[in-house]
Structure 1
Amino acid sequence: MSALYDQYLIQHRKNVKRAYGWFEENLPEILGSINTHAVDIRCNHDFSKNLPDEYSAYDAYFYGGNRSYEVVRDYYRAWLLHLHRNPHHWQHWILINDDPEEGTIVLEMPYRYIIEMICDWWSFSWAKEKPEEIFAWYDEHSKYMTLHPRTRKTIEHILTKMRQKLDEKTDTVS
C-alpha cells in the first residue's frame, strides 16, 4: 500500500464531495430529486478503487516509479474493471455487440450518474483551486467522448449553468 495513493484517494473523494456541495449551495435545481442518491456520491464514489484488483494496479502505475509492460497491462485491466463497476463513467454506457449488424450502441446515462461524472471531472479543478478549469477540460476532451446525444445535451446544459453561476459569483466579487 502506498501512502501517496491513499492520500490521493482521500483528496479526490473530498473534492468530489466539494463539487457536489457546490451544486447543493449554488444550483440545487440541477440536483432536483437526485438528492436521494447524495449518499452514494458523497460516501461511495470510486469505492472500487479500494478493491485489491484495482488498488494494486493503480498504485503501481501512478506511484510505483516503474511503467513496465506488466504494470501498464495491469493498470489497463484495473481501469476496465473500474469502468464496468462505476456507472458514473461515460464509457460504462457503451455496448459493444458481437453482431456486426447491431454494432456499438451508446446508451443514455441516468441523470444521477451524469451529476456524479461531472463532480468527478470537476474534482480535479477543485484540487487546483481553479473550479473554472473544468470548462476547458471538457472542451478539449468532449470530442473524444462517445455520448448519447441526450446525455451530451444534459452535460452541456449543466456546464452552462455552472459557468453562468461561477461568472455571476466572480462579477459580484469584482
Structure 2
Amino acid sequence: MLNAYWKYFLYILNHKLNVLIECWKEGLYIQGIMHDFSKFAPAEFFPYATKFYSGKPLTIEDEQRWKYAWLRHQHKNKHHWEYWVINPETNEALPMPKKYVIEMVCDWRSFSRKWGRRVKTSTLNLTDRIVVHPDTKKELELLTSRHQSKD
C-alpha cells in the first residue's frame, strides 16, 4: 500500500503544479497554490490512493470510503460546481464567484497539460452537463470562448 500512497502523492503534486501554471496565467496566485489542498487530508488521501493506485479489487467499504471522500472534496473546494448546487433535482445552484469559475476552468485545463494535449473548447464547455446558475453558465461560456481565441 505504501507504493500506492507514494504514487498518489506524486499525482497530487503534479496536478497541483499543472493547475498552478494555469492559475498563474489568470492571476490567481494564492488559489493556484492552495488548489486541492484538501486532497492531503487523510479523509481524502487514503480512499483516493486505494481506489486509483492500490491495484487491488475494491471492497464495498473501499468504494464507500471513496464516495465519501469525493463528496467531502466537492464540499471543501469552492472551484467544484457541485459545491454551489442547492437542489440537483431542480437544477438550482447559487452563482459561483468569478475567481472560482476561473479556477474550475484552470482545473479542467490542467488535465490536458498532464497528457500533453491542447484543450479543446468542446472539452471545456461542460455547461450542458453540469448544474450551474445561469450567471455562472454565461461566465463559463465567456471563459471557454476566450480560451478558444487564444489557441
- Same fold judged by TM-score > 0.5? yes
TM-score (norm 1): 0.77
Tell me which residue corresponds to 1:122: 109
CA distance in 1, matches of 2:124, 2:49: 26
CA distance in 2, matches of 1:104, 1:124: 26
Conserved 8 A contact 1:19-1:126: no
Identify the residue that residue 39 of structure 2 maps to in structure 1. 49
The yes-or-no answer on 1:96 pairing with 2:96 is: no
What do residues 130-166 of structure 1 show as CA deviations (whole Å, max 9, x unaligned)?
1224x23234x43220111110110111111111111
TM-score (norm 2): 0.88
Structure 1 position 54, deviation (Å): 0.6
Structure 2 SS opposite 1:109: coil
Q: May I ask how many residue pairs the two structures share in their alignment?
A: 147
C-alpha distance in 2, partners of 1:156/1:104? 18
Pair 162,64 (structure 1): closer, same or farther in 2 beyond 3 Å: same
Question: Which secondary structure does the structure 1 equivalent of 2:66 belong to?
Answer: helix
Q: 1:154 aligns with which of 130, 139, 148?
A: 139
1:136 corresponds in structure 2 to: 122
Runs of 4+ in 1 over 3 A off after TM superposition: none
Unaligned runs of 5+ in 2: none
Residue 111, structure 1, aligned to residue 98, structure 2: yes
Greater relative contact order (Cα 8 A, min sep 6): structure 1 or 2? 1
Find the aligned partners of 2:62 and 2:119 in 1 and give their Cα distance: 34
Number of the residue aligned with 2:10: 7
Give 5+ residue unaligned stretches, structure 1.
Answer: 24-34, 167-174
Aligned pairs (5 A) from 1:52-71: 52-65=42-55, 66-71=57-62
Q: Which has the higher helix share?
A: 1
Among the aligned pairs, what percent are the same residue?
A: 31
Which residue does 1:32 correspond to in 2?
none
Q: Distance in 1 between matches of 2:100 and 2:25?
A: 17
Distance 1:71 1:87 in 2: 26
